[in-house]
Structure 1
Amino acid sequence: MKNLIFALVLSIFAISANAQVAPKKAVTSKVITKQVVDVACGECQFKMKGKDCELAVKIDGKSYFVDGKNIDDFGDAHGEHGFCNAVSKAEVTGEIVNNRFKAKEIKLLSNKK
């Protein structure tokens, strides 16, 4: 009986120890500094799958939803030149983490020449 209890306790310990050292999903990140990118509504302009109109940037040909800035921070997204109706250029600084852009700064660039 003592051996059975000992084996049971040892098994529980081994299972919990294994669970604690299981590898975690690696966090992938890339720092972006003052890069000129396309910015618009991810759903409306970049054809990304989402739940609602949400700000997105296209960096090196890949689209990312933005955290830290809202689509309406730059005016009415549904206005004539808003992000749901037009793609704009912006200079961005931040970090791509787990396929989302964590914005520190988004500076819209003038379309005038």
Structure 2
Amino acid sequence: MALAFGIFTISANAQTAAKKAATTKEISHKVVDIACGECQFKLKGKSCDLAVRIDGHAYFVDGKNIDEFGDAHGKHGFCNAVSKAEVTGEIVNNRFKAKEIKLLPNKK
């Protein structure tokens, strides 16, 4: 009976690890689009919230606030324009957990 329990435990741990791997993706120093998720990326939400678009998919950002980067509703703010940023963090459960966001200069 102990052998059966040991095999079950290993199988359960392997499934948990596989599930975590499937829902987590590390991002390191990647240039992405950054803007308001609701206004620019058409994500469903309740207010203006920071989001990034990575490889064509938009994610709300955790760990940074839209207002940390200036007036979101200004002429070139995130609600009115998509900018570029270099980001580091991880995608977890369909959200981007930001460790670092560095806005890049706008090209004119």
Normalised by the size of structure 1, how large is the TM-score? 0.76
Superposition misfits of 4+ residues, deviation over 3 angstroms = none
> Counterpart amino acid of 1:87?
V
Q: Which amino acid aligns with 2:74?
A: G
Deviation at 1:112, TM superposition (A): 3.3
Q: Give the alignment partner of residue 98 of structure 2, picking from 96, 99, 103.
A: 103
Equivalent of 2:107 in 88, 95, 112: 112
String of CA shifts for 1:57-100, please: whole Å, max 9, x gaps. 00000000000000000001001100000000000000000000
Structure 2 gap segments, 5+ residues each: 1-11
Number of residue pairs matched? 91
Once the two structures are TM-superposed, the CA of residue 111 in structure 1 deviates from its matched residue by 1.3
> What SS does the aligned partner of 1:44 have?
coil
Q: Which runs of 5+ in 1 are unaligned?
A: 1-20
Larger Rg: 1
Per the alignment, residue 76 of structure 2 pairs with: 81
State the identity as a percent: 78
